[in-house]
Structure 1
Amino acid sequence: MNLRVSAFLDRMASLLSEGHLEAFAQLHRYPAVYEAQGTMRIYLRPEDLIRTVGEWRRNQWARGVRTITARVAAQDLGRSGRIRVWAEWTHHLADGTTTDGGTDLLYLSRCPGGCLAIEMIDFLSQSAPAETPEQPDAEALPAAG
């Protein structure tokens, strides 16, 4: 399973790096949940997630990010068709340096045919993509504590 999970993270990183946000959104099951800093955002439709992630990507690229890579830091054994994966992200900048892109806990489920899909992402060490006040794309709920 680890090779499949690594390939899935590589695909996520590649789609984000290349700006293929529609394909990135299709990696999710809806409603998709993003949680960070005590706030949970629920995306009911791919279009909502695309807007939010697109804004996050524009901000990252304005700061010099040009490529994103990921690696599996840990994963559980999974059960009932679900698996938790701790992913560490690296941002590669235009000047050739790298920065820590944070660690996320991804809740993945197995699709028919063996593919993986994102049900939830918990942003553990960096802020999540967030809506600007002009684009309230998702319902924000306080995270259960």
Structure 2
Amino acid sequence: MVRRGEQMLSGQLDLLADDFTFPLPVFLDQKRLIVRSPEQVSGMLCLQRLSMIQRRVVAIRPKVTAIDLPRAGRFRVWVDWLEVAIPAEGTRSASAIYYCSTQPSGLKIEMLNYTRMSMPELQPQFVALARSA
């Protein structure tokens, strides 16, 4: 998760997109989206990164709060994300549950459930991106 935060800040969105399987169900508050391609998820990540740049986020700190015991190669990871900004007024936090699996190519994220969004103002754009498939 630390690597994911570093890749987000440095703009390595294609590397982040490689961690997902498709189609990817994403839950945002009360909305369910189906992200169908790496290009769509990269678009969503780009929107998030632009918001972080505008808020002057200088660090993204993940805190893994729980991990399931794997069953049949699948497990969940609960993560709280702290987006540290300067000035501090731009600092926000998010919480998500990652539904993961172990693949021959490495760890993959099969589903994502944001239980608390740091950027709820982006939800309409995320929905529009998912519908554009």
What range describes the TM-score normalised by the shorter chain of this pair?
0.7 to 0.9
Contact map agreement 1:52 1:130 (CA 8 A) in 2: no
Q: Over aligned residues, Cα RMSD in angstroms?
A: 2.4
| Count of paired positions | 130
For residues 85 and 23 of structure 1, the distance between their equivalents in structure 2, rounded to whole angstroms, comes to 19
1:42 aligns with 2:34: yes
How far is the alpha carbon of 1:61 from its aligned partner? 1.7
Equivalent residue, structure 1, for 2:81: 89
For residues 136 and 90 of structure 1, the distance between their equivalents in structure 2, rounded to whole angstroms, comes to 26
1:118 aligns with 2:116: no
For residues 92 and 65 of structure 2, the distance between their equivalents in structure 1, rounded to whole angstroms, comes to 13
Unaligned stretches of 5+ residues in structure 1: 1-8, 141-145
Q: Which amino acid aligns with 1:132?
A: Q
Question: Secondary structure of the residue that 2:116 maps to in structure 1?
Answer: coil
Unaligned stretches of 5+ residues in structure 2: none
Q: TM-score, normalised by structure 2?
A: 0.85
For residues 49 and 38 of structure 1, the distance between their equivalents in structure 2, rounded to whole angstroms, comes to 19
Question: Secondary structure of the residue that 2:87 maps to in structure 1?
Answer: coil
Q: Which runs of 4+ in 1 moved over 6 A?
A: none
For residues 11 and 59 of structure 2, the distance between their equivalents in structure 1, rounded to whole angstroms, comes to 10
Equivalent residue, structure 1, for 2:123: 130
Percent identity, please.
25
Between Structure 1 and Structure 2, which shows a larger proportion of helix residues?
Answer: 2
Equivalent residue, structure 2, for 1:14: 6
How far is the alpha carbon of 1:98 from its aligned partner? 8.1
For residues 136 and 54 of structure 1, the distance between their equivalents in structure 2, rounded to whole angstroms, comes to 14
